[in-house]
Chains A and B, each alone.
Chain A
Amino acid sequence: MPDEHDLTRRDLLVAAAFVPLAALTSPAQTGPLALTSGQMKTLEAFIDRLIPTDELGPGAVEARAQVYIDRVLAGPNANEKAQFLEGLEAVNAYAQRTQGAPLADLPAEKRDLVLKAIDEDTAQGLPQGRQFFNRARRLTLEGMFGDPYYGGNGAFAGWDLIRYPGPRPAVDAEMQRMDAAPAPYHHSAWGTQYK
């Protein structure tokens, strides 16, 4: 059938994207959109080890990558929500089974053991573990290094980490020299309210 309402998928996505954004401005008043609060704790415990806060600066949780992930699973990536959450729960069960506690209750070193086993595909009883790991890593990168409009990259921590100088409206030849280090341009492409 042709378009039923003359609405492109883009219109729908842009319209949808504005709803959770309003919610984000007051995060204390609202819970996660796609995850339960327990799942959110597990996710944070996981991505905190993927990109930890350390002497180089904020990690994934501090940069709110989990907010990005929760929001895309509630919206544009809803079709992978069930599979993603199943994977997350399986990781948590694996942590309980092998380390004696849910992932969120484990110290960093023990969480690292869990992640390492999954990444290296040696985790017993976790056949989809590697697939979940790769997907979680990919979404964490999107959350940490994407435009803050989508909820992550808080205070532009991701862009500063890799020294990406920001989406300037126009760039001159000097800024493109190999030895140039343009000052960080901390702006979302969607407006100064996103940061």
Chain B
Amino acid sequence: MATTLKPVDVAVIGLGATGGVAVLPLARAGLKIAGIEAGTWMDPHRDFHADEIFNNIRREVTTSPKAQREIPTVRTGPGEKARPAAAHPMMNAIGGTSIHYWAQSWRLKAWDFKTRSETLQRYGAVAIPAGTTLEDWPLTYDELAPFYDIVEDEVGVSGVAGNIGGKLTGRGNPFESPRAKEYPMPPLRGSGFTDHMAETARKLGWKPFAPPAAINSQPRKGRSSCVYHGYCGSGGCHVSAKGSTAVTTILEAQNTKNLTIFDKAHVTRIETDGNGRVTGVRYLRNREEFFQPAKVVLLAGYTYENSRLLLLSKSKPYPKGLSNNHGQVGRHYFGHWNSFVTALFPHDINTWYGLPAQGATCDEWADDSFDHSGMGFIGGCSLHVYTERHPIEGAAMNTFGRAPGWGSAWKKFIHDNAGRQSNTYIQTNTFPYETMYLDLDDEITDPLGDPVCRINTGGMRENERRSTQYAHTKMEQWFQAAGAIQVVKTPPFVPGVSTHAYGGTRMGDNADTNVVNRWGFSHEAPNLGVLGASVMGTSGARNPTLTAQALAWRTADYLVKNWKSVSS
């Protein structure tokens, strides 16, 4: 028998990158919030270490009990048996994956919001990728821009503006959409190597820039600046320079006394009444069951869990799952394509220290930065070179066909070359397709007996394959111009389980093809909102977090301003 708790105004499911942001405007407005989180607080002293085995091999900062008990399965599509992914890539904790992410904090571009109409206008219907379910977003970049401004300030983003109010600054990214003002902090510094790559790009006529990151480049709001020590990726920040929601917006929200955090709480269902309104959240904590009544529920799990929890929450008004009477939950899912080009230099490049967000980025070959006429694809890739290299990773490097894999000759090779290899991070504009979706696995369950999320990847996509291969030739050109003696292009692959997973609860005006409306609230259950990249209909060629956070703030802001109509 579930214990019914004291009712609250808003129950937020998940206090990660997006739920952790949304609680702040709600709390400031005086709403009483229950933050229901599967993980708990992490302790920088106990949990965050400059240790590759701890962070990157045992993944002690990224694994957590709930997520690892419900690892999604992956298959191409119907007729194929889905297999569990190796691990769940996201974590449960207060702050969620914003604790250990790379913290690259990008805005999308105006084009990302209107890709379909812009493509039709510029290239015609023939250019729309076959089988895509791509729609324009129901909002424009300009409508989201003020919320990007707010979140950049609240979590603390460093960077350099390329376009302020439509005027190019001559610094920063000239391809970005207009910003109202400069970033809250200057960009992170470059390293010798990333400065060299930037200089090379300029010689090619490109416009490299230091990319934005939710990492302090200088002390700010009581938090230290980055120490560049080389253990940022998959590790927590021991000096709290990284703007995870655990050290920014969640703390601020707690200070208002309006946010109560219920940690180690495994949400099992969202409950509804006979009229199709949600009534609260059911969860387990220490084997005890609780029901948290709420006037409004904001679902802020990761993309896989958002669709899964809706599909599991069946009721009389929603026999196919909550907010799924139009059959759209799980649809328009896609995992971000990202791929790799590596280079070997004839001299040390000294990228051991630093962090993945310390780098040089070029946007010439992303989005619609170049004319795609006759190219056979739309979109492209951002190209990013960066620092932070760990010793086991260095020793395990590709030998570029220049040495055997063991013995004294190999030992000599890594002695010389472990510090001479550069990796890249190449993110592709990725689109949703008919054959790509999330549903519930028909065999594999979590220990409670609830089916896990099943990813149907739909297989290879010609558009994304072509745009990625094109960008790889540009990355090769960049490396060669910088003096690399060998470049290896890893063929692009269809993502399975992904840290950049989009869709499943897409945002749009049309209830027949979207789960939530332009404000992030369900088309069917009016007091249910959904937060996260699961509402995004395009990916951009860049990391999703800041956009998901700006959307989350906007949904919370809408709720505050329309409290009466949404909550009753």
- Closest Cβ of chain A to B472, distance in Å, is 24
* One of B189, B193, B266, B414 near A161 (C-beta < 8 A): B414
Q: Which chain B residues border A142 with CB–CB below 8 Å? A: 53, 57, 392
> What B residues does A170 contact at CB under 8 A?
227-229
In this complex, which of B52, B229, B231, B392 has the most chain A Cβ atoms within 10 angstroms of its Cβ?
Answer: B392
- Whether A2 and B287, one on each chain, are in contact in the complex, defined by CB atoms closer than 8 angstroms, is yes
Does chain B have a CB within 8 A of A180? yes
B405 — which chain A residues lie within 8 A by C-beta?
A: 119, 137
Knowing A138-B396, A171-B227, say if A178 contacts B418 (CB, 8 Å): no
Quote the shortest CB–CB distance from A148 to chain B (angstroms).
10
The reply on B419 being an interface residue by CB < 8 A is yes
Whether B47 pairs with A159 at a CB distance below 8 angstroms is no
Q: Is the CB of B407 within 8 A of A112?
A: yes
Q: Is B497 at the interface (CB under 8 A from chain A)?
A: no
Task: From A115, A147, A164, give the contact of B53 (CB < 8 A).
Answer: A147
Known: A8-B65, A158-B395. A49 touches B406 (CB 8 A): yes
How many residues of B are counted as interface, with CB atoms below 8 angstroms from the partner's CB atoms?
A: 58
Most chain A C-beta atoms within 10 Å of own C-beta, residue among B47, B227, B407: B407
- B561 neighbours in A (Cβ, 8 Å): none
Interface 0/1 of B387-422, CB less than 8 Å to A: 100011011100000000111101110110011000
B347 to chain A, nearest CB (A): 7
User: With a CB–CB cut-off of 8 A, which chain B residues contact A141?
Assistant: 392, 395-396
- Given A1-B287, A56-B412, A169-B50, does the pair A179, B392 have CB atoms closer than 8 Å? no
Interface residues of A in 129-144 (CB under 8 A from B): 137-138, 141-142, 144
For A13, list chain B residues within 8 Å (CB): 58, 60
Known: A3-B286, A10-B47. A52 touches B407 (CB 8 A): yes
Contacts of A190 in B (CB 8 A): 49, 51
Interface residues of B in 453-483 (CB under 8 A from A): none
**In whole angstroms, what is the CA distance A14 to B227 when docked?**
26
B349 at the interface (CB under 8 A from A): yes
Given contacts A2-B284, A141-B395, contact A189 B50 (CB under 8 A): yes
> Does residue B230 face the partner (Cβ distance < 8 Å to A)?
yes
Contacts of B387 in A (CB 8 A): 176
A9 interface neighbour in B51, B65, B287, Cβ under 8 Å:
B65
Give 18 A-B contacts (CB < 8 Å), ordered by A residue. Answer: A2-B286, A3-B264, A8-B64, A9-B65, A51-B406, A52-B408, A56-B412, A112-B407, A145-B394, A149-B53, A161-B411, A167-B229, A169-B229, A171-B354, A175-B353, A176-B193, A178-B348, A179-B348
